[in-house]
Amino acid sequence: MIEGQSGDNVKNLIKQLFTTNDYKKQVRPNMNQQHPMILDLDFYLVGINELDELKQRLTTTGYLNIGWIDENLIWTSADFGGLDHVYVPQADIWIPDLTLQNGFTKLKELGSSFIKAKVESYGQVTWMPFEVFESKCTIDITYFPYDRQSCNIVFVVWSSSNADVMVTLWNNGIILDSLENNAEWSVVSTAAREDVMSSESRVIFTLNLKRNSTYYLMNIIIPIILLGVLNVFTFALPADSGEKMGYCITVFLSFAVFLTIVSSELPKTSGSILGYYLMFQLGMGTFVVCCTTIELRFHHRKDSVPKNILKLMKCRNIEGQSGDNVKNLIKQLFTTNDYKKQVRPNMDQRHPMNLDLDFYLVGINELDELKQRLTTTGFLNIGWIDEYLNWTSADFGGLNHVYVPQADIWIPDITLQNGFTKLRELGSSFIKAKVESNGQVTWMPFEVFESKCTIDVTYFPYDRQSCDIIFVVWSSSNADVMVTLWNNGIILDSLENSAEWSVVSTAAREDVMSSESRVIFTFNLKRNSTYYLMNIIIPIILLGVLNVFTFALPADSGEKMGYCITVFLSFAVFLTIVSSQLPKTFGSILGYYLMFQLGMGTFVVCCTTIELRFHHRKDSVPKNIIKLMNCRNVKKIESNHQNETESEQGITWDDVISSFDFVMFWITSAIVIIATITVLILLSSPTKYGSTTPYELRFRFLFVGINELDELKKKLTTTGYLNIGWIDEYLNWTSPDFGGLDHVYVPQTDMWIPDITLQNGFTKFKELGSSFIKAKVESNGQVTWMPFEVFESKCTIDITYFPYDRQSCDIIFLVWSSSVTDVIVTLWNNGIILDSLEKMQNGQLCQPPHERTLCRPNLGLYLH
């Protein structure tokens, strides 16, 4: 209440506006609804919280200043003691369903229950919701840390078109008066515009940001340059100083330690010039170490320098109608017509309700290899005909559409079938559906979807993954509600780029073979491999090269062991750095290559240790070792025995080690080159998405009895057991090794069994079998499992011709958690075995052509 007016005046005004005038907050408050509601909007930016390069997410704090004219909230100030404005909770008046369109989470209502809007006597409403906004932003870190980013924050009136609600900029669009300074980012400029080309009513605020680069210059760029200078000065150190190798490998190790320190400060996405410069400096360090090794090799040679080398080196000494019409229409549809949202809205309930569906993909948030989980952001565009929500437009002043909260009308119980959490309702309470005069309903629920995805990391980081997102009408069969694709199925127009994954192709299909009504959207994804190539694969190859050059370093240099153990330690430090970047699942080719390189490092250390052991021996070299190694320094053997003895005494262990180094250098070089080329070829040529060989289950159903067919509940109750067989490659043995034992019986809880279940069951899914049931395992790995159950399955029953009716019932089994690329079920023998079928009191099995049937005497009840 404003000072200068009495509390009674405020009470009287509130009573007149909301009670006497029968104010309806659901109705758009302009008398002539042929004209759109005009919203004036400004964005006050308070702070830039974070700009996440990996998740491509901008987090800001700010508030909107939104104004409009509410023609139902107008009064004469003099009638209420000069009272010219009041403050009203946002929940008590009409407010636009304005929301952040390019948000990182699902759509949510702006503001809070405690926020009040200012209402002035001439109808002007001012509403200022304060929020922390998480919006998507395509980030290019090529020029990090001197990069500039341009991010959009898009606000949209979600449920209404621009013919009903039009958003316009109020003053300057973005106000920076309250902006707090950010340590990392500065706002260079801003822009705001109204999107007049879209059918939606929205405004786009653009922030042009510049990174504050001083921190990165002082703590990353300058130290890297200085380390590069130290690398170069290796060549200024004399070979006979005895510290050349120690110096260069220490500089290299310093570089590795520095990378460990600054890795958390660098962007996790690939493509920055600074990232390439880091790889260049790392490669230069490797090159310098290799050159130093070769230098020291030749430095310790005692023979003369060939003339051609002297010449080569040149050696020297360096909406549109009136508010009353909307009220009358809402009253007729929901009150007069007694609308029931629990009833499926088609007059003839024998025909299914048709749902048209499209999936708009907005962003790929994460693909978690360990949890086998795909997280995406998007919204569904769902349309259907509600035959109880139609009217003649001319009877309501030409009103041809209204927006209704989703909670007030029938909506399908469509949900994510292969979700990672429990089933939940789509949408939110503030989302409205558009209802047209012909009964067409359009509903667009926005969500963050977490779906299961079988991920194969064999070819990481060049892998391609194929993930399904399955939507199903949970409570209804396809005889009641049928889902069909509307346009192209998957729409990528709003897709934000992901730093790690690219969408190669998409597919959408209706599952017509299932009794459920569902659609399957398939995304074929390709990992962006540049980051992993530059930061993992190339460094591993360079470290492997350094390993090989251990054999080029003379044993008497005094630095051979220090060199090889430092390289091995560098490899361990590098693995510590990159371990968080590798998939946590087992089986990638890159993982095997890492183990190979680690094994090679261990082998080189062991060989060096043995070499140095023999290097310090003073005894003579046995003749067989001399012959085995073909030592290059063996002198010409004279014919007399005395000269032969003297010649053999000239061979030392240093000569043997030198020959061993020569042989091992070329052997390990060949092994590393072949392994590296093989790995690169395998990684660069994955054959398919999620390349796995399906596991085959042989299956048949042994029918024991039909317990009941309940016409009222549409439920078939049967007794029987499944005979399921497969090959378990981990459960095989040689029979003679165990006294001719060719089979054993193992409890089902002690071995792998498929999660096969009754899909069209009458209760929730449950595991087949019991803890006491055992499976037969044969010596060749053949497993036979026979779970016995009472099955309650759904069956659509038509009793028109009762008692001469015939019924056809399906019993559907499926492997729940696996797709057909993982486990495939094939029929064993005839599929259904009736040898154990008990005689029934009220029916019998008949066998007309092509199907088995269950018949009452002189009539039939079909059972597939």
Q: What is the average pLDDT value for the chain, to the nearest integer?
A: 82
pLDDT of residue 173: 82
Taking CA atoms, 436 is separated from 439, 484, 570, in Å, by: 5, 20, 68
Q: With 80 as the cut, is the pLDDT of residue 123 above it?
A: yes
Banded pLDDT at 695 (limits 50, 70, 90): low
Residue 304 maps to a domain: yes
More confident residue, 25 or 310: 25
pLDDT of residue 500: 86
pLDDT of residue 227: 86
More confident residue, 340 or 487: 340
Question: 162, 181, 212 — which closes off a domain?
Answer: 212
**Claim to verify: residue 772 and residue 818 sit in the same structural domain:** yes
Mean pLDDT of 144-171: 89
Residue 356 maps to a domain: yes
Q: With 50 as the cut, is the pLDDT of residue 860 above it?
A: no
pLDDT of residue 561: 86
Mean pLDDT of 788-810: 88
- Output the six-digit token pair for 291: 């050159």
Taking CA atoms, 545 is separated from 530, 564, 578, 666, in Å, by: 21, 12, 19, 12
Q: How many CA atoms lie within 13 A of 113 on its CB side?
A: 0
**Claim to verify: residue 86 and residue 188 sit in the same structural domain:** yes
Q: With 60 as the cut, is the pLDDT of residue 213 above it?
A: yes
Mean pLDDT of 438-467: 90
Mean pLDDT of 726-733: 86
pLDDT of residue 830: 64
pLDDT of residue 314: 60
Banded pLDDT at 634 (limits 50, 70, 90): very low
pLDDT of residue 117: 94
Residue 154 maps to a domain: yes
**Claim to verify: residue 679 and residue 766 sit in the same structural domain:** no
Residue 689 maps to a domain: no
Mean pLDDT of 27-44: 88
pLDDT of residue 49: 93
pLDDT of residue 853: 37
More confident residue, 580 or 215: 215
**Claim to verify: residue 547 and residue 632 sit in the same structural domain:** yes
Report DSSP letters for 794-814, one per residue.
E-----TTTTS----B---EE
pLDDT of residue 70: 94
pLDDT of residue 93: 93
* Proportion of the chain above pLDDT 90, given as a percent: 22
* Proportion of the chain above pLDDT 70, given as a percent: 88
Q: What would the pLDDT profile of 649-691 be if each residue is shown by its tens digit?
A: 567 777 788 888 888 889 988 998 998 898 888 877 654 444 4
Q: With 70 as the cut, is the pLDDT of residue 731 above it?
A: yes
Q: What would the pLDDT profile of 747-778 be if each residue is shown by its tens digit?
A: 888 888 888 888 888 876 778 887 778 889 99
Report DSSP letters for 416-459, one per residue.
ETTBSS-----S-TT-EEEEETTSEEEE--EEEEEEE-----TT
Residue 261 maps to a domain: yes
pLDDT of residue 3: 41
More confident residue, 35 or 199: 35
**Claim to verify: residue 706 and residue 824 sit in the same structural domain:** yes
**Claim to verify: residue 663 and residue 753 sit in the same structural domain:** no
Nearest residue to 625 (alpha-carbon basis) of 616, 635, 637, 634: 634
Residue 503 maps to a domain: yes
Banded pLDDT at 646 (limits 50, 70, 90): very low
Q: Which amino acid is at 343?
A: V
DSSP letter assigned to residue 111: S
Question: What is the domain-level CATH number for residue 151?
Answer: 2.70.170.10
Mean pLDDT of 16-36: 86
Taking CA atoms, 225 is separated from 221, 231, 255, 263, in Å, by: 6, 10, 11, 16
Q: What would the pLDDT profile of 305-346 be if each residue is shown by its tens digit?
A: 787 776 776 654 444 456 778 888 888 888 888 898 888 898
Banded pLDDT at 644 (limits 50, 70, 90): very low
Nearest residue to 403 (alpha-carbon basis) of 455, 329, 346, 350: 329
Q: With 90 as the cut, is the pLDDT of residue 648 above it?
A: no
How far apart are alpha carbons 348 and 350 in whole angstroms?
5
Banded pLDDT at 829 (limits 50, 70, 90): low
Q: What would the pLDDT profile of 547-593 be if each residue is shown by its tens digit?
A: 888 888 887 777 888 888 888 888 888 887 777 777 776 678 888 88
Sign of the torsion angle spanned by Cα atoms 442, 446, 447, 449: positive
Spatial contact of 563 and 543, defined as CB atoms under 8 Å apart = no
More confident residue, 270 or 531: 531
Q: What would the pLDDT profile of 342-389 be if each residue is shown by its tens digit?
A: 888 988 888 888 999 999 999 998 888 888 899 999 999 999 999 999
Spatial contact of 284 and 538, defined as CB atoms under 8 Å apart = no
Q: With 80 as the cut, is the pLDDT of residue 149 above it?
A: yes
More confident residue, 271 or 840: 271
Mean pLDDT of 472-492: 84
Mean pLDDT of 382-408: 90
Mean pLDDT of 712-716: 88
How open is the CA angle 372-378-381, to the nearest 5 degrees? 130
Banded pLDDT at 155 (limits 50, 70, 90): very high
**Claim to verify: residue 150 and residue 263 sit in the same structural domain:** no
Question: 477, 495, 527 — which closes off a domain?
Answer: 527
Q: Which amino acid is at 769?
A: G
pLDDT of residue 598: 87
What are the residues facing 55 on neighbouring strands? none
Q: What would the pLDDT profile of 224-238 be if each residue is shown by its tens digit?
A: 898 889 888 888 888
pLDDT of residue 442: 94
Lowest mean pLDDT among 66-70, 347-351, 387-391, 841-845: 841-845
SS3 191: strand
**Claim to verify: residue 441 and residue 504 sit in the same structural domain:** yes
Q: Give the structural domain span for 752.
A: 695-862
Lowest mean pLDDT among 100-104, 534-538, 607-611, 763-767: 763-767
pLDDT of residue 856: 32
Mean pLDDT of 418-432: 83
pLDDT of residue 836: 66
Banded pLDDT at 820 (limits 50, 70, 90): low
**Claim to verify: residue 732 and residue 803 sit in the same structural domain:** yes
Tally of domains in the chain = 4
Mean pLDDT of 460-468: 89
pLDDT of residue 684: 73
Question: 653, 683, 713 — which closes off a domain?
Answer: 683
Q: With 50 as the cut, is the pLDDT of residue 92 above it?
A: yes
Residue 645 maps to a domain: yes
Mean pLDDT of 419-424: 81
In sequence order, the 6+-apart residues with CB closer than 8 A to the CB of 809 are 709, 716, 793, 795, 862, 863, 864
**Claim to verify: residue 227 and residue 307 sit in the same structural domain:** yes
**Claim to verify: residue 299 and residue 346 sit in the same structural domain:** no
Mean pLDDT of 437-453: 92
pLDDT of residue 443: 93
**Claim to verify: residue 221 and residue 205 sit in the same structural domain:** no
Lowest mean pLDDT among 18-22, 530-534, 585-589: 585-589
Residue 2 maps to a domain: no
